[in-house]
Amino acid sequence: MTHTYKKLFEEEEDFTLDRLCKSALRFWLKETNGKASICSLQRGMGVGFDRAGRIFDSLQQLGYIEKKNDIYDSRPLQVFVTLDELDRLFPDMK
């Protein structure tokens, strides 16, 4: 069962989630068949490397995309949420 990001991070005062996280998941689900990568965010959404990396890392930490087993593994990772879940998971994002 997945929880909203607010529920998971309510104890962490310094945590802020990028406003493009929901859009990134939607992009991966629609455009890359549910395969997430930093490069695809850069190219497909016009996001810089640092921001794409932060979005990717945040969504991994939330458990919404697969975690890497090897830091040298460059293959795209699986998105674990569905399009139908996005509004429930990110109620205050577009």
pTM for the model: 0.82
Average pLDDT value over all residues in the chain? 86
Q: Which residue ranges make up each domain of the chain? A: 5-82
- The yes-or-no verdict on residue 55 having pLDDT over 80 is yes
pLDDT in tens, 31-52: 999 999 999 999 999 999 999 9
pLDDT given for residue 1 in this prediction: 41
CATH number for 5-82 (one of 1.10.287.70, 1.20.1440.230, 2.40.100.10, 1.10.10.10): it is 1.10.10.10
Is the model more confident about 69 or about 27?
Answer: 27
CA distance to 3, 44, 66, 89, per residue, from 24 (Å): 18, 9, 14, 13
